[in-house]
C-alpha cells in the first residue's frame, strides 16, 4: 500500500529534482559560474534521488571533465581537490 505521505514525499522529491535540474548553468555546471563542488554535489543529489537522471547529465559530466586536471586535481587548487 502507498500511503498519502509516501505519495506526497514522492511529489516533493520530483519537484526538488526538477528544481535542481533547472539550476544547471549553460556550461553544464551548477552554482555560481559552475562551481566544481556544487556541481559534484548536485550530481550526487540528482542520481541519489532518481538514478535515471544519470542519462541527462552528459553536459554536466563534460563540464566536470573539463575542470579536472590530467593528474586528478581540480582547478589547480589543493583545497578544491581535497573537497
Whether the pLDDT of residue 5 is over 60: the answer is no
* More confident of the two residues 76 and 43: 43
Tell me the pLDDT band of 73, cut-offs 50, 70 and 90.
confident
Q: What is the largest CA-CA distance in the chain?
A: 52
pLDDT at site 1: 44
Distance of alpha carbon 67 from alpha carbon 57, whole angstroms = 15
Buried b (16+ CB within 10 A) or exposed e, 13-32: eeeebeebbeebbeebbbbe
Amino acid at each position: 500500500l502507498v500511503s498519502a505521505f509516501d505519495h506526497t514525499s514522492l511529489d516533493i522529491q520530483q519537484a526538488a529534482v526538477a528544481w535542481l535540474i533547472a539550476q544547471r548553468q549553460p556550461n553544464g555546471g551548477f552554482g555560481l559560474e559552475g562551481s566544481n563542488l556544487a556541481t559534484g554535489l548536485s550530481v550526487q543529489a540528482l542520481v541519489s534521488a532518481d538514478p535515471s537522471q544519470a542519462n541527462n547529465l552528459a553536459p554536466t559530466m563534460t563540464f566536470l571533465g573539463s575542470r579536472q586536471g590530467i593528474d586528478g586535481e581540480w582547478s589547480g587548487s589543493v583545497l578544491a581537490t581535497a573537497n
